[in-house]
Structure 1
Amino acid sequence: MAEAADFQGTTPSPARRWLRRTAALLAGTPLVAGLLCLPAAAPAHAAEDGTGSRTVDVSLDTLTPSAPVEGGKVTVSGTITNRGKETVTDAHVGLGVGPRMSSRSAIDSAAERTGYTNGLDAAEIGGKFTKKFAKLPAGISEEFSITVPVGKLGLDDQGVYQLGVSLWGQTPSRPYEQVLGIERTFLPWQPEDTEKKTQLTYLWPLISSTHLTAETGSDEQQTPVFKNDDLGAELAPGGRLERLVSLGNELPVTWVVDPDLLATVDAMTKGYQVKSEDGETTVAGKNQAVANRWLNNLQKAVQGRKVVALPFADPDLASLAHRGKDVPGSLSHLKPATDVAATAVQSILLTEPSTDFAWPVDGAVDPSVVDVATSAGAHNVIARSDSLQETGGLPYTPSAARPIGGGTTAVVADARLSTAFQGDMSTAGDSTLAVQKFLAQTLAITLQNETKQRSIVVAPQRLPSASQAQSMASALHGLDAQRWSQPLDMVAAAKAKPDAKATTQVPGEAEYPGALRKQELPAKAFQDIKATQDKLDNFKVILTAQDRVVTPFGNAIYRAMSTSWRGNERTAQAYRNGVQSYLVSLTDEVQLIQKSDATLSGRSATIPVTVQNKLVQGVEHLVLRLESTKPTRLKLDGKQTIAERPVKVAGGHSQSVKFTATANANGPVPVVAQLYTEDGTPYGRSMEFTVDVNEFTPTVMLVIAGGVLLLVLAGVRMYTQRKRAAAREAGDGADGPEQPSDPTPDTGPESGNPSGTGEKVDR
């Protein structure tokens, strides 16, 4: 960011100039006296060693008020800890003010310095405004608190002053008074309101990682299933999200929400299930009351305030631009995600959000990121000044809004202010330093050009911790007096008049930060998402209640491309695998029941195939296709190789579908059954079975066998009768005259002459 050589518009009056010179002279007197009292070798020794002023750690825990007012007092409290190996004696903590910072860069440089530097660090105020310690043994800590009237601080012209809190003392090896520890911070001094106050927009993000799975219960309410119950800790008192809502309720901020978080918490309020540790079963969630309380508090906090809704699940725009745009269908998710966002926020928070903003990670942009960011209809892209850097030589920080072409506005957040609280804010010392530096930078921006009002935007980290949120809130409360700044909502900031010389050139793709590029979702992630979407599209067309499946899986697909997966590719992959596996398990609930081989006896018969539906809802718009692989032997439905039947099965039921088969020749014939959707897309796995064609059926064989048996029985009867007759004839010839009715035992050759009348011819 271009800097002014000094603060503009701060020319002091003659009286102020005299006071300033007098104060500088008086401030320098104790320093000179102190130097005269020191042994000549001491400064040189400290300079050579470079560690003398780092012997004691000075922690500045509180500074109140953070922006002093004329006629008031300033209280500084903290802790000193002896990090050295020797006992420090005759020690005291003192304060020194000065010099006034000339630019934003000067503030940065002062904050980075460590150790005491003669000439750069101001002399002590001295007198009664010190805290004495007779002895400070090695490893021991002591607390201190010093209160000083503002009039004693030597503050002159408006601006940012350096405040040094130093520990003076001596050790056995260095028996002379010296600075053994120092901490620096900043005092923003603005005794009177500026005429043109900086308009400050602070984004307050309500975003979390993914907690919901694609699974739901089979009950009417479709009870949601969470992968764990960790979100409850964030919502509970003292948790990260609870602190954000509680603190934000009292701040002039623009809420930036991920509608997925709202939908997730809303699902918790209605009762939910949580996966057990084995991942196979679920148990009831325990944070329903916590979720209700948090959501109620949020609804109250956002009433009458500007709310910016990100696309559902906060999709990673840069990953889409660099890795996903070449995978068909990837970009098509953005517009539905934006539409869902508006509906979710309005129904849950009872307020209408703005969906006209896109927020790439860390505000890093290039042409492809901008194209993707606006593809869902957003006209404003939240960038950051370390990405869209100034090249026009402006002597001040320009307003955030910049037209970048195509009807798109880049709202460029200030990088210094946006990253002010990204470090560890869990200790009071670190938090206090960050707050004071933030306030110093805001005043420095205003004083760069007091005649020109500008609009500055702050876009902090997406997932601030509870301690970071507390530090952010403390900094904003430091601006409550509105002496040099005033709050402005994000929608108004995007419409602010841009500076004519502010850069509007979006950096090229080669300039996109390499560290951020390494964290992006890989192309495989979008390929997985496409595979899941294709399977979902194929599945939903057969359902009678599509919303029960489309909604949870559609949201899961949005979540699979969330920004929250950055740096956690293994976890992201596991989530995508879980979504797809569960979808496959549902599609497998509609399947063909494996059929055993069949025998077709005779010329024609009926072949039944069973379709089973284990889903709780019915399926329709399915077609069952049966195909004979050897049409010369077996045809279907008369003379067809392939036969089809429409399929409609109620939830939890099975249906037997029958086909007519006609045999042309004997032998085994493989037959393939496959379900299709009505558009001809195969559904599920195919099933193959064999039909054995045999012309003689078992029934026919029984009839034939019965006929043969009857013939055999008839032959046996005739043979028996003849045998009995022959036996009788033989018995009559031996005992009496031949009877006319008895047959002749032997007959001669047949005569060709006509027989006489009454002659019996036995043939």
Structure 2
Amino acid sequence: MDERTGRNAAVAARRGRWTGRLARGAAALLAGGLVGALCAAPAAAAPGLLPAAAAEYPAVVRIDALSKQVASENSTVVVTGTLTNSGTSKFKAPTVKVRQPQARPMKTRSEIAMAASRTTPSTLDGISLDSPAQGLQDLEPGKSEDFSLSVPVSALKVGETGTYELAVDVWGSTGDEKAHPLGIARTFLPYQGKESAQPSQLAVVWPLTHAPVLAAQTMADADQTPVLRDDTLAAELTGDGRLNRLVDLGSGLTGLTWAIDPDLLDTVYAMTKPYRVQRPGTSGESASEENTVPGTGRDAAAAWLAKLRTVLAKPNTQVLSLPYADPDLASIAHNGAGLAGMDTALRKAVTAGQITAEARLSVDAASDVAWPYQGLLDQRTAAVAGAAGGRVLLVDGRSLPDSDKLYYTPNAARSIGNGQTAVVGDSVLSSLFQSDLGSAGDRASAVQHFLAETLTIAFQEPEHPRGLLVLPSRSLTGDAAQALHDAVLGAVGGGWVAPTVLQKVAEQKPDPAANASVPQSYPDEAAGSELTAGELTATMQLQDGVDQLMMILTEPERVRGPFSAAMVRAMSTEWREQPKVGTEFRNGVRSYLDNLKSAVRVPKKTVVTLPGDNATLLVSVRNGLTQSVGNLELKITSAQPNRLRVDYPIQPVVMDAGTSRTFRFPAEAQVNGPVQVTAQLWTTGPDARPYGEAVEFTVDVTSVASGVTYVIAGGTVLMVLAGVRFYLQRKKRRAAGEVDEDPDRPAEGPADGPADGPAGAPRDAGRPSDADPSSAAGDTDRVAGDEKVDH
């Protein structure tokens, strides 16, 4: 380390002429965060190159192309572009001119950043040349005019190898004032003179990813026809489609590192055969002819996959298999690291990813490279990546920024501990290709900026090349890929960049002066798009439902694989950019699993009539799946077994696909009336658990034959006993000389007098009370006996 530090000091001393007042000013700007802001915002990677018009500078000048990306001695550069009047007054006699840059090239990347940050004309842009110049017609507000300037390099007075600013401004007036600058556009012009430098080893990650579209369900046919949630992928695989352009452009580059989501490969492979596409709003339903339509991308998928295999077979190419479906490592680290089964799910995703990539592409694929969202890294994300096997981490320079005091760009490889190596993508170079770059001006700006940066890096220490990484957006667009393709070829053609694969850059010796301290915090702006703890918890809970379904299926592999993949797809990094679609996908997986589980069920019922004390309860079970089920039992439970007892309350359930079956449970009722009964399916085995919802219904016992017999018999016995008692009483009375009274004769005494004797005294105190039913019954029987005797 001391030797390298001493060498740095010596080189710095030799280059004191580069680091005077301008370098100190650049350090102040860096301290103020200007360059950091430029690097952090991909859309503003080079804001000074395509400026917005200010009130005093209403001309918007755009440079669309340079005929030569790299200038050389005695060459001519043709600059083409567009002038737009964004003001409210007419431009009078506008003239487009080229500015002669400063005599020496930019020696530091800070100078490039400052040039890119300027938005209005400045003396730092050089002096406007009288030739070449192009006069244009008066330009009304809102109107545009194209221009083309042929610029001899000799007119620019450049001679030393390096990066120069190339500015084009517009002179004119909006009234009676003299002609003055109305606006300016800047780009960078690398010049290749006699000086040379050892080329930087440049690795470029070339991503092939797509939001998951392969559904968990398949058609219920013998071929298990795959089902996609939409058919948008078909358009990307052909013509000007994004993925087709990426493969075509990547085929023209050597030393590429292809980062591929294996789920994309599986989906494209599924599309090479007949497939179906879900109709909108049916993602949670079991696929059928009614809710799906035929897919249209079969030929495009076959051609794209064949072309990709050919491209990846080229020498000096590396293939990275991302974990299957590219799960969001940062979201998991912050919101789901402690969930049961998460570590296992990630490790399986890594293994499945490598197996899938190698099988579909017939190439070796590295699976030990982790790529967190946007390359943003903190300690928890690094730990989760490491637990899943991530030995090499693709990291954006924003997470590991180097000190402002470090005047050169260090090697990309950094040892961060725990056996992990962070390969840091240069934040400026990477940010140039993280936006759409849909216009020619945007692409030209990105290309020239890339050439300027890489040329400057190479000449920071010409005798000591370093390893660089360009880490574009996961969703690299076709236009951004075109710009990156052109930029790399331009730098390689200039001789200051040598393309290589990620593995070679990762193996380079880390620079001890480079920052290798992984931050503890995670950027707030990125945390806002993470999958929440609730979403990750709900996703992992799917495994319980899948495990339970697996226990009863006779062909579990038809469901296990698709659902395991669907669970990982539900955590895909792609949902960062499409949160609504991600929510719909997760809801669809949950609904589909619930539908599968509920396809084996006890149908709802309310009241069952059970005639008689000995009868049979009939309970049905429905299997709506397309395969047979077993390892199930149907259990019947009576809420009042003393009133209704169910004999043999547990019966095994084995059913063919798409059938219903009625199970008979002998029951014995003790009394009439309603009794609550519960029917519940259970899985069998040591881990038996309820399956599906319990069904409660009422059993209404309407006629208990044995109960009626008991009542009749009891009444007969009572009558016999009463007769015996009456006979004994009568016999006793006769023995005592008593005379039976006739209860029908009138009461004694006057006809108009009271029937009773003195107040409060009964007429016959010795007579049994009418309140005594046994006495009354005895009297009645007695009279009936006398009448029989008289007859």
Q: Distance in 1 between matches of 2:599 and 2:616?
A: 26
Asked if 1 retains the 8 angstrom alpha-carbon contact of 2:354 and 2:365, the reply is: yes
5 Å matches for 1:111-510? 111-118=116-123, 120-127=124-131, 129-133=132-136, 135-176=138-179, 178-191=180-193, 194-252=196-254, 253-277=256-280, 279=282, 281-304=291-314, 305-391=317-403, 393-481=405-493, 483-509=495-521
Distance 2:441 2:703 in 1: 96
Q: Equivalent residue of 2:661, what SS?
A: strand
> Does residue 624 of the first structure (1) align with residue 634 of the second (2)?
yes
2:193 alignment partner AA? P
Q: Counterpart of 1:198 in structure 2: which amino acid? A: S
**Structure 1 counterpart of 2:621, one-letter code:** V
Spell out, residue by residue over 1:5-48, the C-alpha distance to the aligned partner (whole angstroms, 9 max, x if none): 999799899xxxxxxxxxxxxxxxxxxxxxxxxxxxxxxxxxxx
Name 1:42's counterpart in structure 2: none
Aligned-residue offset at 1:465: 2.0
Instruction: Note closer, same or farther for the CA distance 1:6–1:552 as it changes in structure 2 (3 Å cut).
Output: farther
Counterpart residue identity of residue 97, structure 1: P
- Secondary structure, in 3 states, of the residue corresponding to 2:491? coil
Which stretches in structure 1 are left out of the alignment for 5+ residues?
Answer: 14-49, 705-763
Residue 375 of structure 1: CA displacement? 1.7
Counterpart of 2:75 (choices 45, 52, 72) is: 72
Q: What do residues 555-596 of structure 1 show as CA deviations (whole Å, max 9, x unaligned)? A: 221111111111544432222111111111111111124466
Q: What letter is aligned with 1:258?
A: D
Question: Compared with structure 1, are the counterparts of its residues 73 and 11 closer, same or farther at alpha carbon in structure 2 (3 Å cutoff)?
Answer: farther
Q: Give how far 1:239 is off.
A: 1.6
Query: 1: CA distance between counterparts of 2:548 and 2:351?
Result: 23
- 5+ unaligned residues in a row in structure 2: which ranges? 18-52, 283-289, 713-791
Give the secondary-structure state (helix, strand or coil) at the position aligned to 1:597.
strand
Counterpart CA distance in 2 for 1:380 and 1:615 is 44
Which residue identity lines up with residue 691 of structure 2 in the other structure? Y
Match of 1:54? 57
Report 1:493-532 matches (<5 A). 493-509=505-521, 512-532=522-542
Letter in 2 for 1:191: G
Letter in 1 for 2:657: G
Shifted more, 85-94 versus 382-391: the winner is 85-94
1:86 to 76, 86, 90: 90
Greater Cα offset, 366-375 or 81-90: 81-90
Equivalent in the alignment of 2:593: 583
- Structure 1 residue aligned with 2:608, among 592, 597, 603? 597
Go from structure 1 to structure 2 and tell me whether the alpha carbon gap of 1:449 and 1:613 turns closer, same or farther (over 3 Å shift): same
Percent identity between the aligned chains?
A: 39
CA contact (8 A) 2:325 2:569 kept: yes
Contact 2:429 2:450 survives alignment (8 Å): yes
TM-score by length of 1: 0.80
C-alpha deviation, 1:408, in angstroms: 0.9
TM-score normalised by structure 2 residue count: 0.77
Q: Which residue of 2 aligns with 1:655?
A: 661
CA distance in 2, matches of 1:365, 1:208: 22
Task: Give the whole-Å Cα distance in 1 for the aligned partners of 2:587 and 2:174.
Answer: 64
Deviation at 1:80, TM superposition (A): 2.1
- In structure 2, the CA distance between the partners of 1:584 and 1:337, relative to structure 1 (3 Å rule), is same
Q: What letter matches 1:76 in structure 2?
A: V
Residues 611 and 704 of structure 2 are in contact (CA less than 8 Å); yes or no, is this contact kept in structure 1? no
Question: Residue 557 of structure 1 corresponds to which residue in structure 2?
Answer: 567
658, 661, 676: which one aligns with 1:670: 676
Deviation at 1:144, TM superposition (A): 2.3
Which one of the candidate residues 107, 111, 116 is aligned to 2:112?
107
Alignment length (residue pairs): 655
Matched with 2:767 is none
Cα separation, 1, equivalents of 2:113 and 2:458? 17
Q: Which moved more, 1:106-115 or 1:681-690?
A: 681-690
**What's the counterpart of residue 755 of structure 2?**
none
Contact 1:96–1:165 (Cα < 8 Å) also in 2: no
Please state whether the residue corresponding to 2:455 is helix, strand or coil: helix
Taking only aligned residues, the RMSD between alpha carbons, in angstroms, comes to 3.0
Measured after TM superposition, the shift of residue 125 of structure 1 is 4.7
| CA-CA distance at 1:608 after TM superposition | 4.2
Change (3 A) 1:533 1:195: same
> 3-state SS of the aligned residue for 2:224?
coil
Please state if 1:610 is matched with 2:620.
Answer: yes
Whole-angstrom CA distance in 2 between matches of 1:140 and 1:283: 48
Deviation at 1:205, TM superposition (A): 0.9
Specify the alignment match of 1:682 in structure 2.
690
Say if 1:669 and 1:134 are closer, same or farther in 2 by CA, change over 3 A. Answer: closer
Distance 1:201 1:140 in 2: 43
> Cα distance, 1:695 vs. partner?
8.6
Q: Distance in 2 between matches of 1:175 and 1:438?
A: 38
Which segment is superposed worse, 514-523 or 183-192? 183-192
Change in 2 beyond 3 A, CA 1:90/1:216 = closer
**1:752 corresponds to which residue?**
none
Residue of structure 1 in register with 2:101 after alignment: 97
User: SS in structure 1 opposite 2:539?
Assistant: helix
Q: 1:350 to 1:193 in 2, by over 3 A?
A: farther
Q: Which amino acid aligns with 1:597?
A: V
- Secondary structure of residue in 2 paired with 1:355: coil
Asked if structure 1 preserves the Cα contact closer than 8 Å seen for 2:78 and 2:149, the reply is yes
Contact kept? 2:671, 2:704, Cα under 8 Å: no
Contact 1:6 1:103 in 2 (8 A): no
Cα distance between partner residues in 2 of 1:492 and 1:611:
62
CA–CA distance in structure 1, aligned partners of residues 181 and 56 of structure 2: 5
Deviation at 1:607, TM superposition (A): 4.0
In structure 2, distance between residues paired with 1:426 and 1:285? 29
- Residues 738-759 of structure 1 show CA distances to partners (whole Å, capped at 9, x for unaligned) of xxxxxxxxxxxxxxxxxxxxxx
2:457 counterpart letter in structure 1: I
* Mapped partners of 1:70, 1:614: distance in 2: 79
Residue aligned with 2:71, SS: coil
The separation in 2 between residues aligned to 1:358 and 1:473, in whole angstroms, is 24
Amino acid in the other structure paired with 1:94: V
> Quick one: structure 1 residues 9 and 80, their matched pair in 2 at CA, closer, same or farther if it must change by over 3 Å?
farther
Is the Cα–Cα contact under 8 Å of residues 192 and 483 in structure 1 kept in the other structure?
Answer: no
* SS of residue paired to 1:478: helix
Mapping of 1:21-36 within 5 angstroms? Answer: none
- Whole-angstrom distance in 1 between the partners of 2:630 and 2:85: 78
Q: Secondary structure at the match of 2:493?
A: coil
Q: CA deviation at 1:171?
A: 4.7
Ranges of 4+ aligned residues in structure 1 off by more than 6 Å:
4-13, 698-701
Q: CA deviation at 1:507?
A: 0.5
State the distance in 2 between where 1:386 and 1:543 align: 50
Specify the code of the residue in structure 1 equivalent to 2:294: A
